[in-house]
Amino acid sequence: MVARSFQVHHNDSTYGVDYDTGDGLEVFKIQIFSLTSIPPDEQKLIGVDENRVLSDDSDLVAISEKLRLVSINEEQQEKSTAENDELLKSDEELARMLQAEEEALLFQQYAVPEDNGKFEGRLGPYVSQVLMYEDLQRQEAARKTVPIEELEEKALVSLAKEGNSTPSKNEQDHAFLLQLLFWFKQSFRWVNAPPCDGCGKETVFHGMADALPSEIRYGASRVEIYRCNFCPIGSRFPRYNDPLKLVETRRGRCGEWANCFTLYCRAFGYESRLILDFTDHVWTECFSQSLGRWMHLDPCEGVYDKPLLYESGWNKKLNYVIGIAKDGVCDVTKRYTRKWHEVISRRNIITEPALSAVLANVTKDCRRGFTSQVLSVLEDRDEKERQELESSLHSTDNASTSLPGRRSGDKEWRKSRLECGSDESCSLSGSSCPVRACVDKHVTEIHNAFLPILSQFVKEKYPKSRAVEVLETLKGILVDLKKSPFKTRRATIDSVSQSLVHQLLPSFTELLNALSMSGKADADGRFDISLAGNAVKTSLALPVALDALDDTINNLNICDYFVEDSLCLPLLKLNRIHSGSVLASGEEIPFGIATSAFDGLRTSKWEEPNGARGCWIKYKVSDNLMHELVAYEIMSANDAPERDPMDWVVEGSNDGESSWHLLDKQTSQIFDSRFQRKTFKISCQGFLSNVFRFRFLTVRDVQSTSRLQLGSIDLYSRSS
């Protein structure tokens, strides 16, 4: 029994409660009922200092003495009132926006000068430019530079990680397009100031020069000159407009990036548009058959389907955003704003009726010669898009997603353009995330597959050095398999390794099965390993097996005595819990999502953008099966040691998360290296749970970061 005194604040009153914590939370609530007349089942108790709701007996031990009492009924009434107020406010805001829009349109009629073809003249060069994307020579040149099979594999693996092992053609095309975007982001180079052509050192802008005939040939009407501070040569930076040349140079700023990436999209058959933002930016849109609509893609930022990026993230004051394609032009500004009434006030080049007429005329010219059937399909889609754009204007923003400021370009240049936004971390993050399914059964199968291998080593009394040598040989075989084409993956064991493989083949069989592969000796005694099942499953599992091998070799090397007693954690990782679902307080999109904590890969991580001072992640077991957690492992991520978790608690629940049982608590944990895995054993035994929660309380250096990140979490249950 631990006697404590609590101060419970409710409305304008404070009540003193003396209490033995060993009596349990329900007894505590009955004492409060006698003082406040609020029934126990209507009480919500919150620790004032921690701002945490008390959910079980362990919270009474850990929580501070100051509590706040909320009546659930009163809270619901307040919430209902707040929602009504919000609806009323929303109606008033809509009325205000419509009024502002009407006033801006009225003002346009009198203040905007007559167009006289200026707007159409501004679009003309871009209409000619997009026609270059239809040139078969340019498309073929673009395709030759793309590692197509690698991107196909990544696309299929990304779908498999989402639980989609049999995607449709449209889903595959959509996933490939995203991988094309990520590849382009890594392969194209942003130019602030080009390195010196002579010595490769930094240069500074020196002015403009006339283009050479060889530069004019590829549309470089402007050439920037850069002076080197270390040698007399310097650098020329022609601003090429022909995407064929850009496929070769692979460098530029947003104009070159969008120009070249749109060619790549057309080269792979995607219906594409070049998007011209009159406030000085360019990007791409593609029609996604999977989504049934046009999708925003910004190659400079590596961001997709986030059209509010510029207004909400960069704080851009948009006016005209025009989509330009081979079959017409379209005003898509409404897709990129939720402040149309403000945008209207800045559209002072041409009146809205005149703009519609110009775009209609240009589109008519683009579609000249199209068959009536094609025209009908295009007009149908135009109408659907018009309705979509109108409805999107009044849709509610997703407040849980934080859109970053501009990331491409020199920091001072971004600041001068006022495009840094308010998100200093420059990331696309979510303050909450959806429930995500873990596709990680293969991770458990791979960990289990090391039991027969290591057991055979022990049985045959291999010295530790010999066991490590065998595992290194096995790793080399898997590396060769990973390098081979994923659709026809195979490897042949060389003569040096053949006797070893034949000797240990029975113990390797389970690992090959986990990789959807099989091995067979031919008439000459060579041993071939090839696909025995789904190629994508092998692609999903091979990186996990390689990481697991590295970890096993490391643990074997630090074993004092390699004997039968060694066949336990951390060397062997049996009874790993898998195939559950995950929910977290936040995540990084798209490369730091919550399921990355459970995918068995070093190359991925869970990142919580606001987790440095506290965050959580929950793992719900599949089919609500009950498990006794006996141990867990946490691995540090690839970089930024200051973001490593340092203090945390692990809890389990078996009653639908109504209450949580404390399973483990850790403080002052330091990860000494990247990808370091730490094993923690649960001291309290016998508690069965079907949901596990990690509450991370602080990171290694909370003063230097707002983020928490970790490479992996693995949960191990007692064997049945």
Residues in Cβ contact with 176 at an 8 Å cutoff, skipping those fewer than 6 apart: 151, 152, 155, 268
Which has the closest alpha carbon to 681: 658, 661, 663? 663
DSSP conformation class of 194: P
Name, in order, each residue with C-beta under 8 angstroms of 514's C-beta and a sequence gap of 6 or more: 442, 445, 446, 448, 449, 541, 545
- Give yes or no: 254 in active site: yes
Say which residue the tokens 């897709």 belong to.
Answer: 335
User: Six-digit token pair at 490?
Assistant: 């195979």
Helices (H), 527-623: 535-557
CA distance 320 to 68: 51
Q: Is 405 exposed, middle or buried (0-12, 13-18, 19+ CB in 10 A)?
A: buried
Phi, psi of 32 (to 5 degrees): -70, -35
Strand partners, 67: 8, 47
Q: Of the listed 57, 174, 277, 281, which one is catalytic?
A: 281
CB 342 within 8 A of CB 449: no
Q: Which position among 173, 298, 551, 664 bears the catalytic label?
A: 298
Q: Is 281 a catalytic residue?
A: yes
Neighbours of 203 (CB within 10 A): 23
Bridge partner list, 651:
662, 693
String of DSSP letters for 391-455: HHTTSPP-TTEEPP---SS-HHHHHHTT-S-S-TT---EESS---EE---HHHHHHHHTHHHHHH
645 vs 648: CA distance, rounded Å? 7
Tell me the three state secondary structure of residue 558: coil
Sign, Cα dihedral of 462, 466, 469, 473: negative
- Give the helix, strand, coil percentages of the chain, each rounded to 5: 40, 25, 35
Lookup result for tokens 């990084």: 588
Alpha carbon distance 315, 296 (integer Å) = 18
CA distances from 248 to 187, 261, 530 (A): 11, 13, 37
Catalytic choice (196, 254, 300, 433): 254
CA distance 129 to 133: 8
> What are the CA-CA distances from residue 647 to residues 268, 588, 608, 659 (Å)?
49, 21, 15, 21
**Catalytic residue list:** 254, 281, 298
